[in-house]
Structure 1
Amino acid sequence: MRRFRFVLVIGLIFATWQISSSFAWGGWIIQPVDSEGTVGHYTSIALDSSDYPHISYQDYGNEDLKYAWWDGKSWIIQTVDSEEAVGKHTSIALDSSGYPHISYYDETVRDLKYARWNGTDWIIQTLESEEAVGEFTSIALDFSDHAHISYGDWRKDDLKYAGWD
């Protein structure tokens, strides 16, 4: 009988430890990143080597492409492109230096655009300027930090690819 009680007590201790340790690993942390106006449309996220999040998104109220990243203490926010109605369908990737590369749609002229941070400034390019291209973008970087982008051509109902040669 003593042995049964001992095994039962050990079993209860183990079960309690298992349940409490599963909660000790944490849960979701929810916090505002940018709350200035109507923001947070068309988001995309990437993690850097410190597991800090970097987010591209559209400021819908101003129709700008914005970029936010966590520096370990607070959120830093930049406007990347504010040329008319931009920033839809963003996709973000980080290069080997931790610099962001963002593909996105320019709704005003209906083009595919690409922005990258060079450590000092945002370099912005229009990659394809035929009408109605560049929606639903997705970006990835290769081992040389060259961008590869898939996107839709609404006019032709085609899937397209753009890659640095």
Structure 2
Amino acid sequence: VDNTNKVVKFGWCEDPECRVFQARTIDTAGQAGQHTSIILGRDGWPVIGYYDNAESHLKLAHCLDPHCATFERSTVDDSGNVGWYTSMALGADGNPVISYFDATRRGLKFARCANPSCSSARVTTVDIGGVGLGTATVVGADGLPVIAYWDFLNDDLKLALCTRPDCARATLLVIDRQGAVGSNAAMTLGADGNPIISYHDHTGGALKIAHCADRACTDVRISVPDSNGSVGWHTSIALGADGLPIVSYYDDTNKDLKVLHCGDASCNGAAP
């Protein structure tokens, strides 16, 4: 989001170090572009999900070329104040799926797009009652979505294991309830295909990692790889070339960006 001009922008790098950078405006509707997320669609072109603050709706822009010179824009959900904390992935059919927060109903919602531009979507409420901030979505090899999110009413980290591609049915689990935990969650699938979640422990001022040892998350292994000061804010997680998690996060004590390369899937014994 361009906060000065209140527009949505898309930018791309023209060299590996991003020393040459270009940007293009995607939406000028006014105060649009908060809570953005981006993926590459099945056509290899960018898909951008975002919250339109002026209309309080969830929107999506599907680029029709690599630099988004042309694009299709659609409103995915307009049923109240919806679209905060978007997270996107590709569904088993190659179309976008999006998890996000419904501020009107204080719940977690999920949209399964019927086409690349999401001009038609199946929208479901996954969980409700003070939940759904800081969502993170992945789709497993079985084609079923998994959503990590913060239960801000109880200060817990929760996980929704969808049993249908549209997430109309899901198994809801509390992954961590030790203290005030679960904000700033990010998620990837490990080399074993099971969820690995990085998140902030507000009580301990720490970065935490939760690794599901099985697909149903009946066995969850939690580690605290960094608790040196107030750390673990605004996490992002991906798998490295060695198949082990790499986590970036903010160190609020030293005002630094930190990167952690885990020594195993559960991030035990790792050091930033």
TM bucket (normalised to shorter chain) is: 0.7 to 0.9
Normalised TM-score (structure 2): 0.49
Structure 1, unaligned runs of 5 or more? 1-23
Aligned counterparts of 1:109 and 1:95: Cα–Cα separation in 2: 26
2:238 match: secondary structure: strand
Q: Partner residue of 1:10? A: none
Deviations 1:121-163 (A, max 9, x none): 1000001011210000001123543111000001111100001
Deviates more, 1:68-77 or 1:24-33: 24-33
1:49 aligns with 2:144: no
Q: Partner residue of 1:115? A: 210
Q: Partner residue of 1:148? A: 246
> Size of the alignment, in residue pairs?
141
1:33 aligns with 2:131: no
1:109 match: secondary structure: coil
Q: Which has the higher strand share?
A: 2
Provide closer, same or farther for how the CA distance between residues 45 and 126 of structure 1 changes in structure 2, counting only shifts above 3 A: same
Deviates more, 1:141-150 or 1:91-100: 141-150
Identify which of structures 1 and 2 has the higher relative contact order when contacts are C-alpha pairs closer than 8 Å and 6+ apart: 1
Larger Rg computed on CA atoms: 1
Is the Cα contact below 8 Å between 2:150 and 2:158 reproduced in 1?
Answer: yes
Aligned counterparts of 1:81 and 1:45: Cα–Cα separation in 2: 18
Q: Partner residue of 1:80? A: 175
Q: Kindly provide the amino acid, as one letter, of the partner of residue 103 in structure 1.
A: S
Q: Which has the higher helix share?
A: 1
Provide closer, same or farther for how the CA distance between residues 67 and 145 of structure 1 changes in structure 2, counting only shifts above 3 A: farther
Normalised TM-score (structure 1): 0.79
Aligned counterparts of 1:94 and 1:48: Cα–Cα separation in 2: 8
Structure 2, unaligned runs of 5 or more? 1-113, 264-272
Deviations 1:77-107 (A, max 9, x none): 1100000100010001012432100000000
Aligned counterparts of 2:205 and 2:124: Cα–Cα separation in 1: 33
Q: Kindly provide the amino acid, as one letter, of the partner of residue 118 in structure 1.
A: A
What is the aligned-residue identity percentage? Answer: 34
